[in-house]
Amino acid sequence: MAMREKVKPEAGKVVDMSWDPITRIVGNLGIYTKIDFDNQEVVSCKSTSSMFRGYSVFMKGKDPRDAHFITSRICGICGDNHAVCSCYAQQMAYGVKPPPLGEWIVNLGEAAEYIFDHIIFQDNLVFVDFCEQMVKDTNPTVWAKAEKADAPHAAIHGYRTVGDIMRSYNPFTGETYREALHMSRIGREMICLMEGRHVHPSTVYPGGVGTQPTPTLFTDYLSRLLRCFDFIKKAVAMNDDVFDFFYEAMPGYEEVGRRRILLGCWGAFNNPDHVDYDYRNMNDWGNEMFVTPGVVVDGELVTTNLVDINLGIRILLGSSYYGDWVGEETFVPKDPLGNPVDQRHPWNQTTIPKPQKRDLDGGNYSWVMSPRWYDKRTGDHLALDTGGGALARLWATALAGKVDTPYVKATGHSVLINLPKTPETEEQTLEWKVPQWSNAIERDRARIYFVAYAAAMALHFLDRAFAEVRAGQTKVFEDFDVPDEAIGCGFHEAVRGVLSHHLVIRDGKIANYHPYPPTPWNGSPTDSYGTPGPYEDAVMGQPIFEEHGPDDFRGIDVMRAVRSFDPCLPCGVHMYLGKGKTIRQVHSPMFGEHG
Amino acid sequence: MADIKVGKAEVKPDTPSHVKGNKEGNAKGNYDHQKGHLPDGRSTAERSTGINPKGASPIDPSMPNLSPG
């Protein structure tokens, strides 16, 4: 793992380069780097967040049945992932298992979310960094090669050269860009059918759903899903052509955004044939999920046991604006299996915000804490990343080799995805193979393969849902009572990676609630052990391929690395160049100071 | 809580959204009490209409009874 080195900027050699804000999430992600232009390398990187959310603070005392409606508002793009995850945690606390059809409806809604969100991110945001206009500007020699390079999958997608594909990625004018917007609209319609509304579902509840399971509901979904398949088949072929071209055109490009293989996936799509939401059986039903949970370290699958995954979670401080909670209350000393639960586990966390000045030079600099996973084999606190979600999901599922449905099969080293014949394209079998690296290109490539995975899996969920309806099984909700004292945890995959909700109920009210979405994992700052967060780690030491010098530097390689993690939607990127000197130091420990 | 200065709270965040004694939609037994829901997870047209629900049942008893919800 890369370790941080303190580098003093020298004019003309090591230059401060900063991007803040970097994402759409109310401008709260900033990347501060020092770049050595003589050696074309990033020598240091810090990831900061300037906004305090406080969900864990204001959830206390509320009715637990409101949790999914409130926590859905954490995100403006994957709110339904939060709602579903919260329902999983509540179902464990209430001891209720939804009827199978309710579970299939939730799975169908979530599959549509993966399709919609990955497409809009990949084709409308990531590919702006790979489009004609951008590459022509940042790497003119690469663009010249792209115009001459034949696209190997031209027969599938219809673009003769790689340059033609990149031209179709141009924002607002490119063909793929515009078609992707249309596809993401269809995806949202599919979510609305199953979950009532997008982004904040209105018919997803603990105990099931309020969606009326009529045959029309499922045929409406199916007709939309089939319209996506033509696009998906072409998109996968185009992605492969462009990414393979980047490896060829710029030898060494695999180093961009590369870090040690440390991936976490908390599993998605519960299987109603097995899930009972009982913590004591969590290992069994977790392994039956249609995306297998797992932790992958250096290419090896360490565990697929959700109990191990749960107990290994540690929330560290080190560079965050919070007070320590070691002396605070221990809400859950032991889990329902009798295993001790660490004080740094989300069940026992107490959030103590301490706003302060940002100090990027050895002090605290972020509102994000540092979630880590304790590897009991080595005693390390691993800074797992999610690989933008898709990479970790495919990697863990492939290695585990447990998923076996008529449309998707994990082989132990790859994932096979069968896509049916659709009006414009023939039947296709895609194979996502475990890649050699965890880097920017492979994170991006996995994303489009996971769209195909989710779409194929949705066909299986539809088959099962239709079987229920044909048998006249219309029950989609199971009633329950709220206990006075209970604990629960939900494990799910937000589109961009691991998602957990930990809940403690006392007196019928929420005593403690901690959601951990993927961005705190990926965008975490350096922890108390000195381990940098994944963005920092991936960017530090990476080579720079951009042909511009410091004066008109756009930082495209750094952007590709950070954006490959899907840091929510990076639609507004601003940059200022320090040119080795500090023009103006702005401290923004709290949202709102910039106005 | 943090040692930061905050204003006087204007709300009580733990004001219960549920008042004890009121019927809860999620309470155990509610599903069974509602008309048209059969114990095995199937349903009849009675869950959708109170007006001659039997007339809205499928013609063939072997067909699933799928009322409009």
* Disruptive mutation site among A104, A367, A479, A481 for chain B (greatest number of B CBs within 10 Å): A479
Residues A9 and A6: their CA atoms lie apart, in Å, by 10
The per-residue pLDDT of chain A, averaged, comes to 90
B6-14 LR contacts (CB < 8 Å, sep 24+): B12/A61, B13/A58, B13/A60, B13/A61, B13/A62, B14/A60, B14/A61, B14/A62, B14/A509
Are residues B69 and A212, on separate chains, in Cβ contact within 8 Å? yes
Q: A232-249 pLDDT, tens per residue?
A: 999 999 999 999 999 999
Q: What phi and psi values does residue A500 have, to the nearest 5 degrees?
A: -135, 145
- CA gap B18, B23 in Å, rounded: 9
pLDDT given for residue A38 in this prediction: 87
Q: Identify the band that residue B2 occupies on the pLDDT scale cut at 50, 70 and 90.
A: low
Cross-strand pairs, A382: A373
pLDDT at A17: 81
d(CA A20, CA A29) in angstroms, rounded, equals: 6
Contacts of B26 in chain A (CB under 8 A): 65, 205-207, 479-482
Structure tokens given for A346: 């989300």
* Strand partners for A322: A353
Residue A305 pLDDT more than 50? yes
Q: CB of A83 within 8 A of CB of A72?
A: yes
B13-30 as b/e: b if 16+ CB within 10 A: eeeeeeeeeeeeebeeee
pLDDT digit string (tens) for A157-200?
Answer: 999 999 999 999 999 999 999 999 999 999 999 999 999 999 99
Q: How confident is the model at residue A282, as a pLDDT? A: 98
Average pLDDT rounded to a whole number, residues A302-307 = 98
Give one DSSP letter per residue of A207-227, joined into a string: TEE-----HHHHHHHHHHHHH
Predicted local distance difference test score (pLDDT) of residue A582 = 34
Angle between helix A100-124 and helix A215-249 axes, rounded to 10 deg: 40
pLDDT at A48: 86
Residue-level pLDDT at B1: 54
Name the minimum distance, in Å, from the CA of A356 to any CA of chain B.
10
Q: Reply yes or no on whether the pLDDT at A373 is more than 60.
A: yes
The dihedral built from the CA positions of residue A146, A152, A153 and A157, taken in this order, carries a sign that is positive
Distance CA A569, CA B31 (A): 41
Q: How confident is the model at residue B69 (pLDDT cuts 50, 70, 90)?
A: low
Residue reference for tokens 């995805």: A417
pLDDT surpasses 50 at A570: no
Cα distance between residue A590 and residue A450, in whole Å: 36
Res B15 pLDDT > 80: no
Residue of A nearest to B19 (CA): A63
- pLDDT of the residue at A593: 35
Helix axes A440-470, A215-249, angle to 10 degrees: 160
**Higher-confidence position of A230 and A572:** A230
pLDDT in tens, A19-56: 777 644 444 788 888 888 888 888 988 988 877 878 88
CB pairs < 8 Å spanning A and B: 80
pLDDT of res. A465? 98
Q: Which two tokens stand for residue B8?
A: 């006087």
Cis ω on the peptide bond leading into residue A21 (within 30° of 0)?
yes
Greater model confidence, A286 or B12: A286
Would you call A220 exposed, middle or buried from its count of C-beta atoms within 10 A (0-12, 13-18, 19+)? middle
> Residues A327-343: what's their mean pLDDT?
97
Q: Locate the chain B residue with the closest alpha carbon to A470.
A: B64
- A354 in contact with chain B, both atoms CB, cutoff 8 A: yes
The residue type found at A189 is E
CA separation for the pair A404, A411 (Å, rounded): 9
User: Does A222 have pLDDT greater than 90?
Assistant: yes
Residue A590 has pLDDT above 80, yes or no: no
Query: Percentage of chain B surpassing pLDDT 90?
Result: 39
Residue A345 to residue A332: CA distance in whole angstroms: 9
Phi then psi dihedrals of residue A408, to 5 deg: -135, 135
Average pLDDT of chain B is 85
Q: Which of B27, B43, B68 minimises the CB distance to A481? A: B27
Q: Nearest CA to CA, how far is B3 from chain A (Å)? A: 7
Q: How far apart are CA A463 and CA A316, in angstroms?
A: 44
Instruction: Identify the three-state secondary structure at position B29.
Output: coil
pLDDT for res A399: 98
Residues A525 and A366: beta-carbon distance below 8 Å:
yes
Residue of A220, A474, A478 to mutate when probing chain B, most B C-beta within 10 A: A474
pLDDT value for A79: 92
Direct distance between the N- and C-terminal alpha carbons of chain B, in angstroms, rounded to an integer: 47
Confidence grade of residue A447 (pLDDT, cut at 50, 70, 90): very high
Q: Given CB atoms, is B46 within the 8 Å cutoff of chain A?
A: no
pLDDT of A21 reads 72
A96-142 confidence digits (pLDDT tens): 999 999 999 999 999 999 999 999 999 998 999 999 999 999 999 99
In tens, the pLDDT along A491-531 reads 999 999 999 999 999 999 999 999 999 988 998 999 999 99
Looking at residue A514, its pLDDT comes to: 95
